[in-house]
Amino acid sequence: MFRVAFTLACVLSGFSLSTFSWADQINIDLTVPKLDAQPYHKPYVSIWLETPKRKGVETLSIWHYQEKEDWLKDLRQWWRKLGRKNRDFDSVASATRKPDTYALSFSPEVAAGEYRLCFEASREDGGREFLHQTITLGAQETQSFTLKGAHELGDIHITISGKNP
């Protein structure tokens, strides 16, 4: 219903809908590697979009222990840009996950343009890792990227299907 009302408002005001990338689909295969660590703790993981100037835009996913939210500060980059300002991320939150490869899918409702898709992982008694990829939302062509994690994150495969409304 919101999209219909917004579309109508845009058409009546003469605003171009092509500046929005509502139809972009971001598909991610994210690997949490199996580590030989004792004790092993599952990592906190955050995924978010930020502007090319590194200003946080939207949290796409956050994996954490609900009863230990104070530890979210260990996801330092995400925390500074989005976490401490907006504590209402329950709709994108889920529990930490064991080593495996996870298929994730997002359709962010943001303006078309260039963004940095960011990944951060932090593990108790472990390390931290931050990876990012510059992407374009609102493009017609499909984009594919692969990021190579070094320790807390494994391979991350990103596919963005661009389809303007």
Give me the mean pLDDT over the 16-40 stretch.
80
Residue ranges per structural domain of the chain: 2-161
Q: Encoding tokens for residue 140?
A: 């017609």
Q: Six-digit token pair at 65?
A: 């222990």
To the nearest whole number, what is the mean pLDDT of the chain? 85
pLDDT at 96 over 80: yes
> For 79-88, what is the mean pLDDT?
83
pLDDT of residue 58: 94
d(CA 23, CA 29): 19
Backbone angles phi, psi at 13, to 5 degrees: -90, -5
pLDDT at 68 over 70: no
Q: Is the pLDDT of residue 10 over 80?
A: no
- Strands 25-32 and 155-161, by their bridges, are antiparallel
Looking at CATH, the fold of the domain delimited by 2-161 is given as Immunoglobulin-like (2.60.40)
Instruction: Determine the pLDDT at residue 6.
Output: 45
Which run of H or E residues covers position 10?
helix 2-13
C-alpha 164 chain-centroid distance:
20
Average pLDDT over residues 103-107: 97
Q: What is the pLDDT of residue 94?
A: 85
The yes-or-no verdict on residue 88 having pLDDT over 50 is: yes
Q: What CA–CA distance (Å, rounded) separates 149 from 130?
A: 8
Confidence of residue 19 (pLDDT cuts 50, 70, 90): low
